[in-house]
């Protein structure tokens, strides 16, 4: 774990305590600080602590803003990802499906937030072993994202990488490798050798060594 992550979490903890003291437990700015701290805890692998904060944010935003407000849906989506990472796939999927419907109502079928929510849902569906549904969801996201914001956009490439992972787990290794290779090539052309490019290249390298 990097020193930068540790220091960022410590700063976020201090900020949260200050907002609790000055603004109260359920002020909108306090809840935002909680969610930011949860992201830090996630980066440290502290999922139990992150989930506890995410649940508090979701409950608080539901009371303050309502079930269908964007901020509530965003927090619900983060909570669902944490639940899925902890193995509670059925509960996570149900929450993600509600999040997708909420984002559709706010932003439409082609909205960026809708597509991100579907992308996250596909990950949980895949983890449940429903590869065909996961593939269909991701292919839909890629097609829409490519049309709306372009194939070279980071969100489109993320969906492609996720589809490559699904294909790989499903045994379609040749197709998965080709798609991941495409992701790396586009990242290098558009972004150079930044963190996203390096991460995509590491996945490709793992695929290559796994196939011998």
What pLDDT score was predicted for residue 212? 54
What pLDDT score was predicted for residue 5? 77
For residues 166 and 147, give the distance between their C-alpha atoms in angstroms, rounded to a whole number. Answer: 22
What pLDDT score was predicted for residue 1? 59
Q: In 10 A of CB 209, how many CB atoms?
A: 8
Q: What residue ranges do the domains of the chain occupy? A: 1-66, 90-212
CB-CB contact of 44 with 9 (8 Å): yes
Structure tokens at 146: 């490519």
Under CATH, which architecture does the 90-212 domain have?
Alpha Horseshoe (1.25)
Q: Tell me if residue 183 falls in helix, strand or coil.
A: helix
Compute the C-alpha angle 160/164/168, nearest 5°.
170
CB-CB contact of 125 with 137 (8 Å): yes
Mean per-residue pLDDT pooled into runs of 10, the chain (212 residues): 81 95 95 96 94 98 97 98 97 98 97 97 96 97 96 95 94 94 94 88 90 60
For residues 9 and 15, give the distance between their C-alpha atoms in angstroms, rounded to a whole number. Answer: 10
What pLDDT score was predicted for residue 139? 97
Instruction: Scan for tokens 């903890």, then name that residue.
Output: 13
What pLDDT score was predicted for residue 3? 81
For residues 176 and 179, give the distance between their C-alpha atoms in angstroms, rounded to a whole number. Answer: 5
pTM, two decimals, is 0.90
| Alpha helices, H only, the chain | 3-23, 28-43, 47-65, 70-85, 89-107, 112-127, 131-148, 154-169, 173-191, 195-210
């Amino acid at each position: 774990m990097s020193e930068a992550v540790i220091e960022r979490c410590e700063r976020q903890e201090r900020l949260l305590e200050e907002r609790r003291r000055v603004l109260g437990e359920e002020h909108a700015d306090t809840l935002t600080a909680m969610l930011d701290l949860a992201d830090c805890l996630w980066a440290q692998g502290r999922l139990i602590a992150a989930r506890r904060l995410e649940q508090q944010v979701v409950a608080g935003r539901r009371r303050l803003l309502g079930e269908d407000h964007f901020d509530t849906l965003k927090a619900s989506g983060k909570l669902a990802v944490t639940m899925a990472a902890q193995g509670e796939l059925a509960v996570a999927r149900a929450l993600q499906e509600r999040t997708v419907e909420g984002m559709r109502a706010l932003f439409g079928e082609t909205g960026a937030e809708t597509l991100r929510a579907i992308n996250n849902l596909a990950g949980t569906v895949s983890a449940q072993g429903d590869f065909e549904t996961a593939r269909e969801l991701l292919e839909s996201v890629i097609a829409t994202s490519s049309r709306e914001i372009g194939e070279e956009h980071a969100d489109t490439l993320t969906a492609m990488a996720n589809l490559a992972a699904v294909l790989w787990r499903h045994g379609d290794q040749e197709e998965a490798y080709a798609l991941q290779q495409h992701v790396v090539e586009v990242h290098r052309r558009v972004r150079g050798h930044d963190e996203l490019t390096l991460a995509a290249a590491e996945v490709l390298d793992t695929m290559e060594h796994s196939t011998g």
